[in-house]
C-alpha cells in the first residue's frame, strides 16, 4: 500500500518534473523522534521538577538578568527575537561570542543539557552583518523550485551554525489569503499546493536530512494555524485594551475545519514527514479561540492527528494573550499541548507559576514529562546530548559566511524569482550595447528596501542596512559606470536609450505592515511619469512584499518586473533585465487591480489584474 510519505515524495518528484526541475527531490528519512525515548526516559528519571520546568522556559537573551540564572532556573533554551542583538554590535564575531557565552554557561549546570538557541533566520541569517540574504518567501514561491528552496535553506543553516546558533524559527508555511496582511511576504504563496511543496523543502535544507549534521539547524514550522486567513478588521489591538486594531495580524480566522485543513494546514503534514523538529503555534484565533490555548489544534489535530513527535514553542509572549491572569494563561496553554514557552521577559514569574500549577495539580506532572520528553527527543536527535560533540560554535565556518559561493546560490534564487508582468515591444531584455541607461526610482540604490523586513532590524531599515548589491550597482556592473545615469526622480533622461525605474515598498514586519491602502507612493508614480515623459522605453522594477496597485503606471511602463524582496544579490535582477537569465518566475499570488473592493482573493470584490501563475519570458 502506498504510504502517505511515499505519496508525498512522489508528488514532490512529479511537481519537480512538472516545474521543469528534472532532478527528483531527495527523500529524507522522517525523524521519528520517539526512537530516542529510551535515552530520554533515562535522563528524565534523573531530573528534578525544577530542571524539567527549566527545559520548558525560553527567555529572550536581552532580558536575562544574569548569566547564573541559566543555572538557577535550569534554562533549556534562549532566543534572540527581533532587535535582541549583541551589545557589541551585529557583526559575525559578536553574535558568535554571544551564543558561546550562554552555551558555555549552560554546560556548567548539573545535567549539562545544552541550550537550543533560536533566531529568526527566515531568509538567511538576517540578523548578522555580512550575511547572505535570500529573496523572502514570496519571491521563492515564484520559482516553484523545491530544490532551489532547499539550497537556499542549506546555505542559511551553514551561516546560522557559523554563529553557533542551532535553531531557526523558519520556514513560515502560512498561506496568506489577504495581501493587506503585513506578513504576506513571509508566505510562499496564496496556494496551499505551492506551500506544501516548498515548506518541507526548506525544512530539508535547514535540517539537512539529519539533525545531528554539524551544519544542520532545527527548523520551526510556523505559525500553527491559519495565520494567513484572518478576517479583515479582526487584527490585534494597537495597544493594551485599545479599541483600535491592526486590520489583520493576529486576528481571527473564521473558517470551518475542512477549509483550515485544506488551505492553512497544507504545509504541516509534509513538513512533519520531512522531519521538522519544532512547530510554533500562532497568535491568531480560530473561530474565536486563541491557537496557543487550543487543545483541539495543538493536541488533537497536530500531535495526535498529524503524529507530530517534536515539540511546540509558543510565539513571543503569545501565552499572555489567553484569557485570565498569567497563571491561568500558562495552565491553559500547557494543558492544551504547548511544550516550551517563548516567555520572553518574565521568565522567573513563568517558572514559579508553572511550578505552583504542578504542585496544585492544575497541570499534571504527566503533561510536564510529555513536554520535556519532546524537547529532549529533539535535543538527542540534534546530537546535543553527545558529549563527544561540543555545542559551541565551529568558527571555521566563519570563512564561508557571506561567501561568493553562498551569494551565487542567492543570485540564482533572485533570477528565478523575478516575474515579468508586462513586456511590450520586446523592451526586455535590455541590450548590453544600450548607449546610456537611466536608473531611477527611490529603491534603485537602496539595499534596505531590496531586503525588506527582518534584515538586521526587526522592521528592516531603508538605506544601507547590510552589504549587498543594489539594482543600480548591478546594472553598472553590466554596462559600465560611465553609461549609467542615476537619478531617483528620473531627471536627466535626455539622450538615454532606456530607463529602469525601481520603485515599491519600504521595509516593515508583522502588524506594522498591515495596510488598508496598497497604492504606489506618489513619489514612485512621479518617477515613472518623468521617465515616460522623456519619450524613451521605460522598464519598471517593483520591490514589494506583496502585489501592489499599479494601475497608474501600467500604461506608462513598457515593461514591468515584479522583483518582490530579492535580498542582497541584486545581480540576479540585472541578469533578468539583460537576458543573461531568461525569466521563468510565475506569480505565487494573484495580482489585483485598483478597482478591487477587497484584497482577499476569495471575496467577490477582488478584481484580478494578473492571475496566479502569470509570468512572461523572452
Task: Enumerate binding residues for ligand GLC (CB under 6 A).
Answer: 81-82, 120, 169, 222, 315-316, 510
User: How far apart are CB 202 and ligand GLC at their closest, in Å?
Assistant: 14
Contact (CB, 8 A) for 225 and 291 = yes
**Cβ 460 vs Cβ 504: under 8 Å:** no
Comparing CB distances to ligand GLC, the nearer of 51 and 315 is 315
Determine the Cα–Cα distance for residues 466 and 457; give it in Å rounded to an integer: 10
Respond yes or no: is residue 523 known to be catalytic.
no
DSSP structure string for 572-606 = HHHHHHTTSS------SS-EE-TT-S--BTTSTT-
Residue 315 vs 575, nearer CB to ligand GLC: 315
CA distances from residue 453 to 81, 392, 422, 591 in whole angstroms, order as listed: 13, 29, 27, 21
The residues, ordered by sequence, that sit 6+ positions from 61 with a Cβ below 8 Å of its Cβ are: 78, 79, 80, 84, 98, 102
For residues 521 and 529, give the distance between their C-alpha atoms in angstroms, rounded to a whole number.
13
Least CB distance to ligand GLC at residue 15 (A) = 26
Task: Please give the backbone phi and psi of residue 610, each rounded to the nearest 5 degrees, phi first.
Answer: -125, 130
Dihedrals phi, psi of 499, to nearest 5 degrees: -115, 135
Question: What DSSP designation does 304 have?
Answer: I
- Calpha distance 444→234 (Å, rounded): 36
Q: Residue 559, CB half-sphere, CA atoms under 13 Å: how many?
A: 31
Query: Distance between CA atoms of 119 and 128, rounded to whole angstroms?
Result: 11
In terms of DSSP H, where are the helices of 244-340? 257-259, 268-273, 295, 326-336
- Among 150, 249, 309, 510, the active-site one is 510
Using an 8 Å Cβ cutoff, are 580 and 418 in contact?
Answer: no
Question: Any alpha helices (H) in 274-346, and if so which ranges?
Answer: 295, 326-336
Look up 510 and say whether it is catalytic.
yes
Which of residues 170 and 485 has its CB atom nearest to ligand GLC in the complex? 170
Q: How far apart are CA 389 and CA 310, in angstroms?
A: 22
What's the min distance (Å) between Cβ of 79 and ligand GLC? 6
Of 186, 315, 524, 569, catalytic? 315
Nearer to ligand GLC, 202 or 438 (CB): 202
Minimum distance from residue 94 beta carbon to ligand GLC (Å): 19
Least Å distance between CB 107 and ligand GLC?
25
Residues 167, 218: contact at Cβ < 8 Å? yes
Q: How far is the CB of 129 from ligand GLC (least distance, A)?
A: 19
Nearer to ligand GLC, 169 or 591 (CB): 169
For residues 81 and 146, which CB has a smaller minimum distance to ligand GLC in the complex? 81
CB of 59 to ligand GLC, least distance (A): 12
Task: Name which of 227 and 571 has its Cβ closer to ligand GLC.
Answer: 227
Is there a contact between 233 and 180 (Cβ–Cβ < 8 Å)? Answer: no
Q: Which residues are catalytic?
A: 315, 510
Amino acid at each position: 500500500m502506498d504510504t502517505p510519505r511515499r505519496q508525498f515524495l512522489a508528488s514532490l518528484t512529479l511537481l519537480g518534473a512538472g516545474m521543469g526541475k528534472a532532478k527528483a527531490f531527495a527523500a529524507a528519512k522522517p525523524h521519528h523522534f520517539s526512537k530516542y525515548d529510551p535515552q530520554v526516559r533515562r535522563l528524565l528519571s534523573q531530573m528534578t521538577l525544577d530542571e524539567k520546568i527549566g527545559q520548558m522556559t525560553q527567555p529572550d537573551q536581552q532580558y536575562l538578568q544574569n548569566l547564573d540564572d541559566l543555572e538557577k532556573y535550569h534554562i533549556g533554551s534562549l532566543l534572540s527575537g527581533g532587535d535582541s542583538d549583541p551589545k557589541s554590535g551585529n557583526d559575525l564575531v559578536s553574535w558568535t561570542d554571544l551564543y558561546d557565552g550562554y552555551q558555555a554557561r549552560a554546560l556548567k549546570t548539573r545535567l549539562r543539557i545544552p541550550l537550543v538557541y533560536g533566531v529568526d533566520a527566515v531568509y538567511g541569517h538576517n540578523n548578522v552583518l555580512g550575511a547572505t540574504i535570500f529573496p523572502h518567501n514570496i519571491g521563492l514561491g515564484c520559482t516553484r523550485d523545491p530544490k532551489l528552496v532547499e539550497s537556499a535553506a542549506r546555505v542559511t543553516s551553514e551561516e546560522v551554525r557559523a554563529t553557533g546558533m542551532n535553531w531557526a524559527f523558519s520556514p513560515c508555511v502560512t498561506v496568506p489569503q489577504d495581501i493587506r496582511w503585513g506578513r504576506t511576504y513571509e508566505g510562499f504563496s496564496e496556494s496551499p499546493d505551492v506551500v506544501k511543496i516548498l515548506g518541507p523543502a526548506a525544512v530539508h535544507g535547514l535540517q539537512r536530512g539529519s539533525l545531528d549534521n554539524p551544519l544542520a539547524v532545527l527548523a520551526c514550522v510556523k505559525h500553527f494555524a491559519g495565520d494567513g486567513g484572518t478576517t479583515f478588521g479582526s487584527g490585534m489591538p494597537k495597544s493594551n485594551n485599545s479599541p483600535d486594531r491592526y486590520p489583520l495580524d493576529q486576528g481571527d480566522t473564521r473558517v470551518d475545519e475542512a477549509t483550515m485543513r485544506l488551505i492553512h494546514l497544507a504545509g504541516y503534514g509534509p513538513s512533519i514527514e520531512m522531519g521538522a523538529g519544532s512547530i510554533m503555534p500562532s497568535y491568531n484565533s480560530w473561530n474565536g479561540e486563541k491557537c496557543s490555548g487550543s487543545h483541539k489544534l495543538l493536541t488533537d489535530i497536530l500531535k495526535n492527528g498529524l503524529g507530530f513527535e517534536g515539540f511546540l514553542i509558543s510565539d513571543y509572549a503569545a501565552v499572555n494573550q489567553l484569557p485570565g491572569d498569567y497563571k491561568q494563561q500558562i495552565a491553559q496553554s500547557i494543558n492544551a499541548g504547548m511544550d516550551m514557552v517563548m516567555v520572553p521577559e518574565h521568565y522567573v514569574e513563568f517558572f514559579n507559576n508553572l511550578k505552583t500549577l504542578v504542585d496544585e495539580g492544575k497541570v499534571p506532572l504527566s503533561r510536564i514529562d510529555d513536554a520535556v520528553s519532546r524537547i529532549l527527543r529533539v535535543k538527542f536527535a540534534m546530537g546535543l546530548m553527545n558529549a563527544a560533540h561540543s555545542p559551541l560554535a565551529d568558527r571555521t565556518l566563519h570563512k564561508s559566511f557571506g561567501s561568493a559561493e553562498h551569494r551565487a546560490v542567492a543570485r540564482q534564487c533572485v533570477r528565478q524569482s523575478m516575474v515579468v508582468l508586462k513586456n511590450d515591444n520586446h523592451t526586455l531584455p535590455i541590450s548590453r550595447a544600450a548607449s546610456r541607461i537611466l536608473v531611477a526610482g527611490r529603491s534603485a540604490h537602496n539595499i534596505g528596501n531590496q531586503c525588506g523586513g527582518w534584515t538586521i532590524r526587526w522592521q528592516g531599515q531603508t538605506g544601507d542596512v547590510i552589504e549587498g548589491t543594489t539594482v543600480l550597482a548591478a546594472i553598472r556592473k553590466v554596462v559600465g559606470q560611465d553609461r549609467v545615469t542615476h537619478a531617483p526622480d528620473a531627471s536627466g533622461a535626455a539622450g538615454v536609450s532606456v530607463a529602469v525605474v525601481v520603485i515599491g515598498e519600504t521595509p516593515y514586519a508583522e502588524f506594522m505592515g498591515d495596510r488598508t491602502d496598497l497604492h504606489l507612493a506618489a513619489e514612485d508614480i512621479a518617477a515613472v511619469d518623468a521617465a515616460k515623459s522623456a519619450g524613451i522605453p521605460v522598464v519598471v522594477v517593483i520591490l514589494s512584499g506583496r502585489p501592489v496597485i499599479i494601475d497608474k503606471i501600467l500604461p506608462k511602463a513598457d515593461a514591468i518586473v515584479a522583483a518582490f524582496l530579492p535580498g542582497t544579490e541584486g545581480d540576479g535582477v540585472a541578469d533578468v533585465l539583460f537576458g543573461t537569465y531568461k525569466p521563468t518566475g510565475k506569480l505565487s499570488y494573484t495580482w489585483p487591480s485598483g478597482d478591487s473592493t477587497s484584497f482577499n482573493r476569495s471575496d467577490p470584490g477582488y478584481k484580478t489584474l494578473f492571475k496566479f501563475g502569470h509570468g512572461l519570458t523572452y
